Amino acid sequence: MLSLSHLHKAYREPDARPVLQDVNLELHPGEYIAIVGESGSGKSTLLNLVAGLELPDSGKILLDNRDLTTLDDGARTRLRRSRMGFVFQAFLLLPHLTVLDNAALSLKLNGVAHREAQQRAHAMLEAVGLSGLVHRFPGTLSGGESQRVAIARALAHRPQVVLADEPTGNLDPGSAGQVLALLREQIRSCNSIGILVTHSMAAAASADRCYRLDGGVLRPE
Amino acid sequence: MIRAAWQALVGGPLRSSPGRTLLAVLAIACGIALGFSVHLVNASAAAEFRRAALQLAGEADLVIRGPRQGFDEMLYPRIAGLPGIAIASPALEFQASRTAAAPALKIIGIDALRARELQPALFAGEALPAIDLFDPDNILLSAAAARAFGVSTGDRLDFLAGTETVRLRVAAILPDGAYRQPLGIMDIAAAQWRFGMTGTLHRIDVRVEPQADMLSVQRSLQTLLPAGVHVLSPDAENRRSAALTRAYRTNLDMLALIALFTGAFVVYSTQTLAILRRRMQISLLRALGVSRPAVLGLLLGEGAAIGAAGGLIGIAAGGLLAHQLLAASGVDLGAGYFRQMQANLHVEPVTLVFFLLLGVVFAVIGTLAPALEISGLPPAQGLRAGDPAGQTPGSRPLRYGLAAIAGAALLLWLPHPGELPLPGYAAIALLLLGSVLVLPPVAIGLLRALPLQLPMPHALGLARLIATPRHVAISMSSILVSFSLVVAMLLMIHSFRTSLDTWLHQVLPADIHVRAASSGETGYLTPAVQQRITELPGLQRVEFLRSVNLLLHPQRPAMTLIARDPGDGGFARTLPLVDTPPALPEGSPPAAWISELVADVLQLRPGDRLLLPLGEQPQAWIVAGIWRDYARQNGAIVIDRADYIRLTGDLRINDLAAWLAPGVTVEAAADGIRHAIGNGSALDIADTRDIRRLSLAIFDRTFAVTWALQIAALAIGLLGVGLAFSAQALARRQEFGMLRHLGMTRREIAVMLAGEGALSSAVGALCGMACGGVIGLLLIRVINRQSFHWSMDLAVPWLLLPLLFCSIVLCAALAARCTAVLATRSEMTRAVREDW
Out of A44, A94, A96, name the one closest to residue B833 (CB): A44
Three-class SS of residue B509?
coil
Q: Rounded mean pLDDT of B632-656?
A: 90
- B224 and B79 in a single domain? The answer is yes
CB B682 within 8 A of CB B165: yes
Binned at pLDDT 50, 70 and 90, residue B797 comes out as very high
In a domain, residue B301? The reply is: yes
Q: Do residue B467 and residue A44 have CB atoms under 8 angstroms apart?
A: no
H or E segment at B764?
A: helix B746-778
More confident residue, B792 or B238: B792
Mark yes or no for CB contact A95/B460 under 8 Å. no
Asked if residues B511 and B688 have their Cβ atoms less than 8 Å apart, the reply is yes
Q: Is residue B393 scored above 60 in pLDDT? A: no
pLDDT at B691 over 80: yes
Per-residue pLDDT averaged across B727-751, rounded?
83
Cα(A73)–Cα(A69) distance, rounded to whole angstroms?
10
**For A173-191, what is each residue's pLDDT tens digit?**
877 888 888 888 888 888 8
Size of interface A-B (CB pairs under 8 A): 80
Domain boundary among B327, B362, B384: B384
Whether B295 has a pLDDT exceeding 50, the answer reads: yes
Using one digit for the tens of pLDDT, what is the confidence trace for B525-543? 889 889 999 999 889 999 9
Q: Do B741 and A51 touch (CB under 8 A)?
A: yes
Q: Cβ–Cβ of B742/A105 closer than 8 Å? A: yes
Q: Where are the domains of chain A?
A: 2-97+159-220
ipTM over 0.90: no
Average pLDDT rounded to a whole number, residues B588-592: 91
Does B335 have pLDDT greater than 60? no
B622 Rama sector, left if φ>0, alpha if ψ -120 to 50, beta otherwise: beta
Burial of B151 (0-12, 13-18, 19+ CB in 10 A): middle
pLDDT of residue B218: 85
Q: Are residues B757 and B698 in the same domain?
A: yes
Q: Does B390 touch chain A (CB under 8 A)?
A: yes
- Min Cα separation A22/chain B (Å): 23
B64 bridge partner residues: B204, B231
Instruction: List all residues 6 or more positions away from A76 whose beta carbon is below 8 Å from its beta carbon.
Output: A52, A53, A68
Inter-chain touch A73–B745, beta carbons under 8 Å: yes
Q: Please indicate, yes or no, whether residues B335 and B451 belong to a single structural domain of this protein.
A: no
What whole-number distance in Å separates Cα of residue A65 and Cα of residue B796?
65
Identity at B123, one-letter amino acid code: F
The pLDDT mean for chain B works out to 82
Neighbours of B223 (CB within 10 A): 7
C-alpha span between B271 and B364 (Å, rounded): 10
- Same domain? For B228 and B320 the reply is no
CB contact under 8 A, A80 and B734: no
pLDDT average, residue stretch B477-501: 88
Supply the pLDDT for residue B243: 61
- Residue A106 sits at the chain B interface (C-beta within 8 Å): yes
- Residues B624, B581: contact at Cβ < 8 Å? yes
- Check whether residue B737 and residue B820 sit in a common domain: yes
Answer whether residue B659 shows pLDDT above 90. Answer: yes
Comparing A82 with B44, the larger pLDDT belongs to A82
B660 and B700 together in one domain: no
Q: Is the pLDDT of residue B578 over 70?
A: yes
Among candidates A40, A51, A35, A39, which has minimal Cα distance to A11?
A: A40
Cα–Cα distance list, A206 to A26, A33, B265 (Å): 19, 9, 54
More confident residue, B560 or B716: B560
- Answer yes or no: are the C-beta atoms of A212 and A43 closer than 8 Å: no
- Residues sharing a CB contact under 8 Å with residue B723, sequence separation 6 or more, in sequence order: B20, B23, B24, B266, B269, B270, B273
B660 within 8 A of B539, measured Cβ to Cβ: yes
**CB-neighbour burial class of residue A45 (10 A; exposed 0-12, middle 13-18, buried 19+):** buried
pLDDT higher than threshold 60 for residue B828: no
Q: Which of B738, B746, B827 to mutate to test the interface with A (most CBs of A within 10 A)?
A: B738
DSSP annotation string for B299-359 = HHHHHHHHHHHHHHHHHHHHHHHHHHHHHHHTTTTTS-S-TT--------HHHHHHHHHHH
pLDDT for the residue numbered B315: 92
Claim to verify: residue B787 and residue B677 sit in the same structural domain: no
Task: Write the CA distances from A182 to A32, A83, A149, integer angstroms.
Answer: 13, 20, 11
User: Rounded CA gap, B788 and B413, in Å?
Assistant: 19
Instruction: Give B376 or B813, the one with higher predicted confidence.
Output: B813
Flag if A105 and B834 touch (Cβ within 8 Å). Answer: no
Q: Select the more confidently predicted residue: B16 or A3.
A: A3
Measure A117 CA to nearest chain B CA, in Å.
12
Res. B82: pLDDT tops 80: yes
Q: B452 contacts in A (CB within 8 Å)?
A: none
B551 and B582, same domain (yes or no): yes
Q: What pLDDT, on a 0 to 100 scale, did the predictor assign at position B769?
A: 92
Is residue B362 a part of any domain in this protein?
yes
Inform me whether the pLDDT recorded for B694 exceeds 70. Answer: yes
pLDDT of B130 reads: 57
How high is the pLDDT of residue B786? 84
- The residues, ordered by sequence, that sit 6+ positions from A193 with a Cβ below 8 Å of its Cβ are A2, A27, A28, A29, A30, A31, A32, A160, A161, A162, A187
Pairing between β-strand B655-660 and β-strand A193-198 as defined by DSSP bridges:
unpaired
Same domain, B195 and B70: yes
What is the percentage of chain B residues whose pLDDT exceeds 90? 18
Are B599 and B747 in the same domain?
A: no
- Residue ending a domain, choose from B331, B364, B384: B384
Q: Which residues contact B90 (CB under 8 A, 6 or more apart)?
A: B73, B76, B110, B111, B114, B188, B201, B203, B204
Does the structure show a pLDDT above 50 at B835? no
* pLDDT band at B100; cut points 50, 70, 90: low
Assess whether pLDDT exceeds 60 at residue B389. Answer: no
Query: Which residue in chain B has the smallest CA separation from A76?
Result: B743
Q: Mean pLDDT, to the nearest integer, of A62-75?
A: 88
- Is the pLDDT confidence value at B643 over 70? yes
Cα B640 to Cα B593: distance, rounded to the nearest angstrom: 9
> What are the counts of helices (DSSP H) followed by strands (DSSP E) for chain A?
8, 10
* Residue B222 reports pLDDT greater than 50: yes
pLDDT band at B196 (very low <50, low <70, confident <90, very high): confident
Residues of A in contact with B734 (CB under 8 A): 90, 92
Write out the residue range of the structural domain in which residue B162 sits.
62-232
Is the pLDDT at B560 greater than 60? The verdict is yes
Comparison of pLDDT for B243 and B581, the residue scoring more: B581
CA distance A166 to chain B (A): 10
Q: Which CATH class name applies to A2-97+159-220?
A: alpha beta
Q: How many whole angstroms separate alpha carbon B77 and alpha carbon B82?
A: 9
Which tens digit of pLDDT belongs to each residue from A136-153?
A: 988 888 888 898 899 889
- Put simply, whether A31 touches B (Cβ < 8 Å) is no
Q: Cβ contacts (< 8 Å) between B832 and chain A: which residues?
A: 88, 90, 92, 165
- Mean pLDDT of the B336-345 span: 59
Shared domain for B100 and B157, answered yes or no, is yes
**Nearest chain A Cα distance for residue B381, angstroms:** 14
pLDDT tens readout for residues B592-627: 999 999 998 888 999 999 988 887 678 899 999 999
**Which residues touch B439 (CB under 8 Å, ≥6 apart)?**
B401, B472, B473, B476, B477, B480, B764, B767
- B444 falls within a domain: yes
Nearest to B386 among A80, A105, A139 (CB): A139
Band the pLDDT of B628: cuts 50, 70, 90. very high
Least confident of A151-160, B29-38, B712-721, B823-832: B823-832
For position B232, what pLDDT does the model report? 82
Strands of A58-129, DSSP E: 58-63, 66-67, 84-87
Say yes or no: B467 contacts chain A, CB-CB below 8 A: yes
Residue A194 to residue A188: CA distance in whole angstroms = 9
pLDDT (tens digit, 9 = 90+) per residue, A85-124?
988 888 888 888 899 999 998 998 888 988 999 999 999 8
B745 chain-A contacts, CB cut-off 8 A? 73-74, 77-78
pLDDT for the residue numbered B834: 43
CB–CB of B742 and A53 under 8 A? Answer: no
| Residue B396 touches partner A, C-beta closer than 8 Å | no
Mutate to test the interface with B, among A73, A92, A153 (most CBs of B within 10 A): A92
> Per DSSP, what are the bridge partners of residue B179?
none
Question: What residues contact B524, with CB distance under 8 A and at least 6 apart?
Answer: B162, B163, B516, B652, B653, B654
Number of domains in chain B: 4
Instruction: Give domain status of residue B649, yes or no.
Output: yes
Which residues have C-beta within 8 Å of that of residue B11, sequence separation ≥ 6?
none
* pLDDT tens digits, A9-61: 887 665 667 888 899 999 999 899 999 988 878 888 888 899 888 889 999 99
DSSP class of residue B577? B
Cα distance between residue A42 and residue A57, in whole Å: 14
| pLDDT of A211 | 93
> Would an 8 Å CB–CB cutoff place A156 in contact with chain B?
no
